[in-house]
Amino acid sequence: MSKPKVFEKPVGVKDYLPLAVSKLRQIERSVLSCMAGWGYEQIMTPTLEYYDTVGVASSTSDQRLFKLLNNRGTTLVLRSDMTAPIARVVSSLLREHEFPLRLSYHASVFRAFENEAGRDAEFFQTGVELVGDASAEADAEVIALAIASLQAAGVQRFRMAVGHVGFLNGLLEELLPGRESDQGRLKDYLLNRDHVGYRDELRRLGLSESVRRELEGLLRLRGGRAACEQALELSANETARSAIGHLCGVWDALEAYGVSEHVLIDLTMIGDFSYYTGMTFEGYASDLGFPVVAGGRYDNLLQQFGRPAPATGFAIKTTRVLELVGEESEPQRRILIGYDAASRERALAEAGRLRGEGAVVVTALLEAPGVAHGAQARAAGAAAGERLERKARRLPDGESVRYGGQTYGVFVPFFNDEEAGEGAGR
């Protein structure tokens, strides 16, 4: 293997330039503020965790974990999600806190995808966990909050697909009793949204015509509350009917929240995480083929850390949201204060005052009178080459200036023979 070039970076990771970082931070602040308004408190956990605890408990398959050894020979992992680390904290540092717990987070997570197209090895997630409440109301709350969070992030057009793993488990056990491998293959097709493969597999299994029709009918169970009612007629299995009853309760609560227009019941949804035990959902934006949010109920995870409790939550894929809303945004008005050596103290004092008022201020030691115009500035820049520019060029609007590759809405000169006039912004 050849040595990487100095400008290369590992496959699956990205550099984020200032404009993208500014937008990411804006999305992060907006979403966390929305979550705080629903009573969720932010938590932070380490990037490194023990493989034998959080690594084993995580939803990510073993071959997709980034593993490393510490100086004692203990295997560590880079966190692949935030749910397992939060389960660890709930079971230890928050053990004496009463349920329910409402926790939020924003963090980078890491997964090894072996050069798969379009998959990032490092990406950002913003999400919540609601721990200690097994009710349909809790599931509806996290779905409604996911909708509110996407709207806060600037995503306008999206749809939430909601399912329940219990319904599919019960239906398959009823119609294919004792055939776990066949059930597993059918679930894999549904997990990958491969409905053609699902139908082909049904034909290969040699099922009776009535059973095959019932399992094919599963693909049509999509819609609102009517889909739940149709599902109740499809199965007599107790597990399946209990799951549908729970999902009907979730739907009723979502209607009360006034967000059911964004939700579609899809009983082929089984989620991408093996630890999901009940309701699962994914949010798809109109302009992106990948889900931007995913979540569900995972009632068995916390018992692995010694504090059994039901839990539900979701994670927004913040970097995908950035692709949707774009990096373009209205920039904050920037002020350039130019000064000479004799006026430095006054200029820096004014900059401090303006920053205290919330302004973005850049200061620069410039050549008096501080502003070079048009061709003169361009000629001076060409002659200087890579040298630091010491002149600012007034733009056609007569107010803003161009300096150091940036445009400033206000220019305030401080030179020995000039006063700052009325100051910036006045």
- For residue 285, list its beta bridge partners: 158
Q: What is the mean pLDDT of each run of 10 residues along the chain (426 residues)?
A: 81 89 94 98 97 90 91 95 96 97 97 70 95 98 98 93 92 90 90 90 90 88 87 88 94 96 91 78 86 94 96 95 74 85 94 94 78 46 49 72 87 72 43
Q: How many CA atoms lie within 13 A of 236 on its CB side?
A: 1
Task: Look up residue 317 and give its two tokens.
Answer: 């894929």
Q: What is the number of other CB atoms lying within 10 angstroms of the CB of residue 178?
A: 7
Phi, psi dihedral angles at 46 (to 5 degrees): -65, 155
DSSP string of 80-108? S-SHHHHHHHHTTTTTTSPSPEEEEEEEE
Residue partners of 301: CB distance under 8 A and separation at least 6: 57, 83, 84, 87, 275, 311
Closest CA to 409 of 331, 329, 334: 334
Q: Spell out where 144-278 has E strands.
A: 158-164, 222-223, 263-266
Establish whether the linkage from the previous residue to 369 is cis, with ω within 30° of 0. yes
pLDDT at 353: 96
Q: Hey, what are 202's tokens?
A: 């049904």
| Rounded Cα distance, 172 and 267, in Å | 13
Q: Quote the pLDDT of residue 11.
A: 84
**Cα gap 327→22, rounded to integer Å:** 8
Tokens 């009918």: give the residue: 217
C-alpha 394/C-alpha 371 separation (Å) is 7
Helices (H), 367-416: 374-384
Label residues 321-334 b or e (16+ Cβ within 10 Å = b). bbebbeeeeeeeee
* Contact (Cβ atoms closer than 8 angstroms) between residue 273 and residue 289: no
Residue 368: per-residue pLDDT? 55
132: left (phi over 0), alpha (psi -120 to 50) or beta: left
Q: How far apart are CA 153 and CA 315, in angstroms?
A: 13
Contact 58, 45 (CB under 8 A): no
pLDDT at 274: 65
- Say what the pTM is: 0.85
CA proximity to 87, closest of 316, 313, 305: 305
